Amino acid sequence: MSRKSPIWPKVAADFVQKNLNGHKILGLAVAGLLYLICLSGTVTVFYLDMQRWETATAPEAVFTPQGVAKAVEDARRLQPKDATSLSAYLPTPDSRRLLINAGKDHIAYDSAGRRTGKADMPVVEGLSALHYELNLPGVAGVVIVGLGGVAIIALLIGGLLAHPRIFKDAFLWRLRSGARLNRSDLHNRLGVWAAPFHLIIAVTGALIGLSQIIVLVAGLSFYKGDLIAAAAPLYGDMSAKTVAGRMDEAAIVNAFGNLKHAFPDARPNYLILNNLNTDHESLTVWADLPDRLIYAEQFEFDGKGRRVARHHLNDGPVGKQVWSSLYKLHFGSFGGTWVLWVYALLGLGLTAICATGMDIWLLKSAQKGQLHPRLHRLWVGYVWAAPTAMCVAAVTNLTGGGGFAPIFWTALVLLSVAAVGLPNARLVSRLGRWLLAVLLLALVGVHFTTFESASVTGSALWVNLSLLAIGLICTISTLHEPSQKIGLVAPHAGH
């Protein structure tokens, strides 16, 4: 029987090797950064559920124009003296919270617009700030995270070019064939099959993170330095300029009525009251449109609640619609709960790719006699310290102590460095998982102590059960660890 020649040309070994080296250099350089970004991103996929978890005693609210108008009127009194605007998160079927910002605080209201108290969310906000700006001040963090997205694109390109066995190994995962083969197969299979997800996450994340850089380049190159003019084609018209007095409750209700009349399917999710306490107040309302990837359409209303402008994010040029779709594509908030779960699992996969990449290099090096035992313990310690530090910061904040960012970063550094003092990487991994399991249990316990019966209802219940399930998986994984022989092991390999 004649053998058919393969349809794919043979890739030169030299080409593959160079791409692999380049992939390795970049991967090793940014592994720590990308791991943290991907892990925090995975956690914040369920941002709205965690928001409800952290404000478990805040009332569930449904959107009513009268309730929102009353809440806005009440919140005026709570604004700082120098505030020029007032912003509110409106209740949606997913969020079920009416929250109005007052300085650094969030104030919760019920459906009828009655104030129920503060609803601060230091844990959720700390986690999302960790993801999109690494808790760094100014634009530095956002730009670094955006560059992380560019690095992922480069790693994806280089990784695929360095994978000549991409079809031969299409479904291969040698789970029980030693640590190195296990991790290599996992790294490659996740990298290939979830490549569309990685590409979308990287591109949307990079565009969101580098949006200011992009506008800067466009502004300097084509708009004579006018950055507002450069951004206008993508963001649309600015807020209404008509002078129609102060917006009272009736005007806000009128605005929502006009919106409902023109766009019956639109679901308002956010508003800003502009030019606060002036004679030319205006209202900007963001409204989600069903079955669209755009985050929201933006509507402008004058002081009497008359609609004066729309940003056409929904039906404007394709470029504008694509720009408006970045957020939902990045966070998976477009297809219901099951898409969020797919995003979370694929996000966990991307996080695992970051973790296994460094692992593979360390294990390969050990096999060749190039040992890095301290680095190996530091890396494994860092991998488990990151989620553990998140729990430490969450527990501390729920009990009323400290800011999220300082506690998280301190715990991350201390736990990672402490791992270096342990005898081998496997012990670091086991201890890391046990410590994480204990802290997850503590977090659920603290949540129950803080919120009592509210912690076992609605979203809070599901979040707590998920935290317990993760802790259980961590514990079970240490009890049923498969043999992790790596083949040739040099003395003092640190395993």
Contact positions with another protein (CB under 8 A) in 21-60: 21-23, 25-26
Tokens of residue 95, six digits? 């969020």
Nearest residue to 145 (alpha-carbon basis) of 43, 35, 44 = 35
Give the residue with the Cβ less far from another protein, 339 or 442. 339
Per rule CB under 8 A, is residue 372 in the interface with another protein?
A: no
Cβ atoms of 125 and 43 within 8 Å: the answer is no
Q: How far apart are CA 283 and CA 271, in angstroms?
A: 7
Q: Which of 189, 241, 280, 304 binds another protein (CB under 8 A)?
A: 189
Per rule CB under 8 A, is residue 62 in the interface with another protein?
A: no
Which residue in this structure is represented by tokens 């470029």? Answer: 319
Per rule CB under 8 A, is residue 139 in the interface with another protein?
A: no
Closest CB 245 distance from another protein, rounded Å:
34
Per rule CB under 8 A, is residue 234 in the interface with another protein?
A: yes
Closest CB 173 distance from another protein, rounded Å:
3
Per rule CB under 8 A, is residue 145 in the interface with another protein?
A: no
Per rule CB under 8 A, is residue 178 in the interface with another protein?
A: yes
Which amino acid is located at 428 in the chain?
Answer: V
Give the residue with the Cβ less far from another protein, 369 or 406. 369
Q: How far apart are CA 248 and CA 475, in angstroms?
A: 56
Cβ-Cβ contacts under 8 Å for 435 (sequence gap 6 or more): 384, 388, 415
CB atoms within 10 A of CB 25: 11
Region of 122-130, 150-158, 380-388, 418-426 interacting with another protein (CB under 8 A): 150-158
Region of 35-43, 78-86, 124-132, 177-185 interacting with another protein (CB under 8 A): 177-185
Closest CB 32 distance from another protein, rounded Å:
16
Tokens of residue 216, six digits? 């800067």
Closest CB 326 distance from another protein, rounded Å:
10
Closest CB 244 distance from another protein, rounded Å:
29
Give the residue with the Cβ less far from another protein, 106 or 187. 187
Residues 95-134 that bind another protein (CB under 8 A): none
CA distances from 338 to 46, 190, 192, 349 (A): 11, 19, 22, 16
Per rule CB under 8 A, is residue 256 in the interface with another protein?
A: no
Dump the DSSP string for 283-350.
EEEEEE-TT--SS-EEEEE-TTS-EEEE--TTTS-HHHHHHHTHHHHHHTTTS-HHHHHHHHHHHHHH
Tokens of residue 404, six digits? 């999220």
Q: Which of 33, 136, 144, 154 binds another protein (CB under 8 A)?
A: 154
Residues 302-361 that bind another protein (CB under 8 A): 316-320, 322-323, 325, 329, 332, 334-336, 339, 342-343, 345-346, 349
Q: How many residues bind another protein (CB under 8 A)?
A: 85
Per rule CB under 8 A, is residue 257 in the interface with another protein?
A: no
CA-angle at 471, arms to 466 and 476, nearest 5°: 125
Strands 86-89 and 98-102: antiparallel
Give the residue with the Cβ less far from another protein, 117 or 335. 335
* Three-state DSSP class for residue 86: strand
Closest CB 4 distance from another protein, rounded Å:
8
Q: Bridge partners of 87?
A: 272
Length of the chain: 495
CB atoms within 10 A of CB 80: 9
Per rule CB under 8 A, is residue 196 in the interface with another protein?
A: yes
Buried b or exposed e, range 360-372, using 16+ CB within 10 angstroms? bbbbebbbeeebe
Give the residue with the Cβ less far from another protein, 19 or 397. 19
Region of 153-161, 424-432, 440-448, 457-465 interacting with another protein (CB under 8 A): 153-161
Per rule CB under 8 A, is residue 180 in the interface with another protein?
A: yes
Q: How far apart are CA 459 and CA 470, in angstroms?
A: 17
Region of 47-55, 72-80, 291-299, 388-396 interacting with another protein (CB under 8 A): 291-299
Give the residue with the Cβ less far from another protein, 240 or 350. 350
Region of 36-44, 70-78, 205-213, 277-285 interacting with another protein (CB under 8 A): 205-213
Which amino acid is located at 104 in the chain?
Answer: K
Which amino acid is located at 264 in the chain?
Answer: P
Closest CB 147 distance from another protein, rounded Å:
8
Residues 428-457 that bind another protein (CB under 8 A): none
Q: Which of 118, 165, 176, 374 binds another protein (CB under 8 A)?
A: 176
Closest CB 315 distance from another protein, rounded Å:
12
Per rule CB under 8 A, is residue 140 in the interface with another protein?
A: no
Q: Which of 103, 117, 233, 445 binds another protein (CB under 8 A)?
A: 233
CB atoms within 10 A of CB 399: 11
Q: Bridge partners of 286?
A: 270, 298
Per rule CB under 8 A, is residue 219 in the interface with another protein?
A: no
CA distances from 378 to 179, 249, 372 (A): 18, 58, 10
